[in-house]
Amino acid sequence: MAYSIDFRKKVLSYCERTGSITEASHVFQISRNTIYGWLKLKEKIVELNHQVKGTKPRKVDRDRLKNYLTDNPDAYLTEIASEYEQDPEKVALFLKNFNSLKHLAPV
């Protein structure tokens, strides 16, 4: 769980006042590595906001694949793989998962 920004600021201001990261880690019961990470974050970005990690982009766009399959219903795996610059094995796995999710799609 991430610490709140107010808590981070409070810990870092305590470190600046006392000059001891070890003492701050004992007082606030957090590890010194956490405080060092916050110091690096503040030095690098100047803010202490939580680092938001986004989702990984999909290698194959589902809508584009659906359109491709409706246009080319009898396409071989190698043809589909060359269209998306992927291995045929990955395309086969994706199609297997894609077809298993077909019943969830709105009609």
What pLDDT, on the 0 to 100 scale, is given for residue 45?
A: 75
**What is the tens place of the pLDDT at every residue in 10-51?**
999 999 999 999 999 999 999 999 999 999 888 877 666 666
What pLDDT, on the 0 to 100 scale, is given for residue 14?
A: 94
- Name the residue range of residue 12's domain: 5-45
Task: Produce one character per residue of 25-51: b if its CB has 16 or more CB atoms within 10 Å, e if not.
Answer: beebebeeeebeebbebeeeeeebeee
Residue 68 and residue 39 share a domain: no
Please report, rounded to a whole number, the percentage of residues in the chain having pLDDT higher than 70: 78
The reply to whether 51 falls in a domain is no
The reply to whether 54 falls in a domain is no
Whole-number Å distance between alpha carbons of 41 and 26: 21
The reply to whether 94 falls in a domain is yes
Whole-number Å distance between alpha carbons of 38 and 89: 43
The reply to whether 78 falls in a domain is yes
Q: What is the number of structural domains in the chain?
A: 2
The reply to whether 82 falls in a domain is yes
What pLDDT, on the 0 to 100 scale, is given for residue 95?
A: 83
The reply to whether 50 falls in a domain is no
The reply to whether 57 falls in a domain is no
Name, of 4-13, 61-70, 83-92, 96-105, the range with top average pLDDT. Answer: 4-13
The reply to whether 55 falls in a domain is no
- Helix, strand, or coil here: 73? coil
Is the pLDDT score of 77 beyond 50? yes
pLDDT band per the 50, 70, 90 thresholds, residue 2: confident
Residue 37 and residue 10 share a domain: yes
Is the pLDDT score of 85 beyond 80? yes
